[in-house]
A and B are shown apart, each in its own frame.
Chain A
Amino acid sequence: MPKRTDIQSVLVIGSGPIVIGQAAEFDYSGTQACRVLKAEGLRVVLVNSNPATIMTDPEIADATYVEPITPEFVEKIIAKERPDALLPTLGGQTALNTAISLHEAGTLEKYGVELIGANVEAINKGEDRDLFKEVVEAVRAKIGHGESARSVICHSMDDVLNGVETLGGYPVVVRPSFTMGGAGSGFAHDEEELRRIAGTGLTLSPTTEVLLEESILGWKEYELELMRDKHDNVVVVCSIENFDPMGVHTGDSITVAPAMTLTDREYQILRDIGIAVIREVGVDTGGCNIQFAVNPDDGRVIVIEMNPRVSRSSALASKATGFPIAKIAAKLAVGYTLDEIPNDITEQTPASFEPTLDYVVVKAPRFAFEKFPQADSTLTTTMKSVGEAMAIGRNFTEALQKALRSLEKKGSQFTFVGEPGDKAELLREAVRPTDGRINSVMQAIRAGATPEEVFEATKIDPWFVDQLFLIKEIADELAAAERLDVELLAEAKRHGFSDQQIGEIRGLREDVVREVRHALGVRPVYKTVDTCAAEFAARTPYFYSSYDEETEVASREKPAVIILGSGPNRIGQGIEFDYSCVHASFALSDAGYETVMVNCNPETVSTDYDTSDRLYFEPLTLEDVLEIVHAESLAGPIAGVVVQLGGQTPLGLSQALKDNGVPVVGTSPEAIHAAEDRGAFGQVLAEAGLPAPKHGTATTFAGAKAIADEIGYPVLVRPSYVLGGRGMEIVYDEVRLEAYIAESTEISPSRPVLVDRFLDDAIEIDVDALYDGEELYLGGVMEHIEEAGIHSGDSACALPPITLGGFDIKRLRASTEAIAKGVGVRGLINIQFAMAGDILYVLEANPRASRTVPFTSKATAVPLAKAAARISLGATIAELRAEGLLPANGDGGTLPLDAPISVKEAVMPWSRFRDIHGRGVDTVLGPEMRSTGEVMGIDSVFGTAYAKSQAGAYGPLPTKGRAFISVANRDKRSVIFPARELVAHGFELLATAGTAEVLKRNGINTTVVRKHSDGEGPNGERTIVQLIHDGEVDLIVNTPYGTGGRLDGYDIRTAAVARSVPCLTTVQALAAAVQGIDALNHGDVGVRSLQEHAEHLTAARD
């Protein structure tokens, strides 16, 4: 049965900004789907507010709308484009919820748009707890297996409290309906916890509904990925087993594929249930994942939930098996059946089979608790990790140790030296699931814990526990051996030990271990992920390393470029870097190179086996990269290794790679040093005559104090060589400075602390530029909305800049060129400037692709990362202009006056975190980056673009209602004008006494409300926090008061997050919001595709 002929155009909804629970995996899925649909000859219309995605590249879809994913905006797009069908299953919960809203509002019917890939009934059955329970009951009636945990549905706190009795007491699980990534769910062990968790859950659920459930803590947890076509053919693509038992969100668990501890009978029961569920729910075509809990004592199976769409797990399953779920889901949605679709990897066999693995895949989550020190680090059923690494090995131990070192986080690898600590204490620690619990377990084992004790504490399956013992025994053998011989080294490598770990155990340097190993001929081979355990020949070179006998890397003729990716997503190093790596791969492939991608992040487009000519799914450590370079050098010529595009991870390897004789192309390691080392960079600035804020470097408190005394407080302090402003802080006094130095673990003589004068009230500017040694191409100039001192990744910005004139741009261009030249950049450079008074200070320079490259590229319709990759390999800007990759004339600094304005806004993960008392964490922005993602608003004027960016990030700006204003003294002067504007737009103003006084004196009508610390008034007057909780405030403006006295603000801001009320924490943001509100109140906001914007821009450029 060929594809449907009644569909000519399809609207695909993306997942919007990267947030916890919904990350790059949807770019991977969406990109695959859009490409497939386009290849099928359909017109693809895409909406996604996230510019840092490959899917929003103008060549992926026919019409790409970087617009907010809200029913209002999507309706505008539908009205304009009139697609025949809407595919909602590839953009996560965001797309699914938007599609349901459009259906319920009658929009789809009005415009005759058919939902494909999932029908509304199926979506509801899968997502609605009550309906899903009925599904599971029906399945049990049919096949005799599967049940739901005993539970009650609650719509109020009374329901919740009564529910606990029905279930037979605590602990109970709370799960809000229709939230993503399990937001708002958790375990309640007593009434206080229950009131808190269920209260939040009821608020978060769009249907004010939570499910209360019997506890199945400690059971084994499994997941199946299934696909079904319109002929009811169903295949199970992958089984996944969680290393961490029930109680930890699967996104936060270490997970393993395939399932390791099921007999065939038990596995087939899960498979039967899975198939019966997908049929009962009625997912006609496409994929779904189903989660199960299995009682380790008797095999009782509980069906936890299903997602009738592609998901994070389906992306993982695709990478783990080589079976591209999203791609096939898109084909099924337009009418194909599984047997009609070829398996890409074998090319000879159809997709209607079940992949079988002859390797083990381990996924490990990466957390960012260090960014949120107040947050409770206990892992629960609410997802908290910000990224993940996947590793493949020929056995579990190899895969596990590779995954742990892929996390690239201090302490993520097992360590076998030093005192392990007290056994009883370690076992107690291991009871509580946390980031790094596996390391506590390993230390407990070293301290003498028995397998039974470990199981008792953690409920981790005894087979997995034994594997940890196996690793520990090999570490013991390594320690005890007289010398490292072939047999011992090979055995250690076979169980995933890194050279670094072996060195640590043996008291040797990593490079010495490597030398010994190479001398003994112990090197990895590369095996292929082929979907079929070698039953058929694989045509797709998707490799992983293993210490086995036979390698499968084929020789090649063309020179290869090896591109090092960015590893697991983390705050500060996310999808933006993957975007640049993917672009490099495309551009270099077009230029005639064989492209080789190395990465370990399963969520990304770079690790799609379709992206590059060869894919190595490997950790990005020096050892692993050197081995790949070695293997590829045996296969054919290597033109170079690109380290500039994947962020700090590959950049950090640059010098060591060069020292090992690897041809690093682009900016040299020495140039990288010149930009990153304070002293060297100061030299560059001095030679170019460019001012930097007064600064100094110190390795002790005394040294730092001396510098601070000289330049004056406040000062900005930070460790050197970090990303995302990690550990950066504005310090207002000596007491805090002393504490900072004491707390900071990353400061050492080789890594000094940097102390800079903090520029109050400066305008911060970001520049992305290309330099080839001769010519500078200014990619774009971004003006931050928030003042300097707020990390550029967390700050909103506008491109082209909205308050800078031609003279400023000229100065920026000259400074950028001087720095690029002085440092010796070949490719991309990102520079941060601060304009204070009339002085343009240089804050820092990063000689690599920056976080803003995708945004700049989209805003100016120029593929900067592609150009950078080409420059790395020797092309000049002049050549690239001639080729058409760069515009023939002008650059991002000379945009025409009527060029569209793009606004980038950061998206913060506040709502994910609670402190140990269950209260929200503070939402104040600072010099340390904490956002997980970003959106872009694009329009012809700033106000509208800003309003769109807010709608995309947080929901629409209010256009009327009540605004609450409470600002720090220093902001009181500048708040007057925007406040007056709000009143002019019909807002009623509320303010705390101090702010109200200022506003009233300026003739602005304001109602005084009680502070949180005042408590409720004598006549029951509510405080501002109560008003926010009661939903009576539509907009909040609250700027923090220095370092102290933050408590009131804290409660206001956390209440705002809990109730999803827009909350502006700088006056600059208020001024921008006022422009946005003004735009919204002045007529209709339109939508325009990137292709239309680009056409307009190109025409204006000529």
Chain B
Amino acid sequence: MGIISSSIARKVAMALSGLFLVFFLGQHFTINLMSVFSPDTFNETSHFMGTNPIVQFLLQPVLIFGVVFHFIMGFILEIRNRNARAVKYASYKGSANASWASRNMIISGLVILAFLGLHFYDFWAPELNVKYFKGDMSGLIDPDNVNSGFRYYEELVHKFESPIRVGIYVVAFLLLAVHLWHGFASSFQSVGFNNKYSVALTKFAKVYAIVIPAGFIFIALYLHLNQLPH
């Protein structure tokens, strides 16, 4: 952590890793959205992402590093920040001067972390298991049957059968929206970007913070409702 020993360097690192995750989120959303309009495109894209060596062995580790870094740094900062006020106020009116979202990034962050655990358990772990432990890189529902079709869409739909899981997803995405609401726009401030474009950029970030999580929620609900008995 030598290079990020100063408070500002840490802050910038938080912002940059956050921005990277925001970008990833957009890309993830775009692919997921295909599942609503065209299961075939979704399958093909998923297969490409899941088997392309650049994605798998270069981008994926970077992503994992980004996620882990963002979380660990978040925790470190939270602990340091708590220590900066050893004796707490008897009366502290945080709502008077700052939004709930900005004051509770650790809470929304922890919820997202918990969700990520579930998400990895749902998708990433089975994926690793199939591809690297069982050695099945075909992406087919039945690896022995070339005509059985890609398994990705089927698996996706299957996961959204349970209303409880869908509920958890919805809550997690709401908290993600809260996290992004403060985090995205504030990352520009952290990297020192504050000029005549800031107002527009902030607006964009706020819209993004609502639209992307809302989109994820929409996909989850869509897939869930679509498979209910008519």
Q: Do A and B bind each other?
A: no
> Which B residues form the contact surface with A (CB < 8 A)?
none
> Which A residues form the contact surface with B (CB < 8 A)?
none
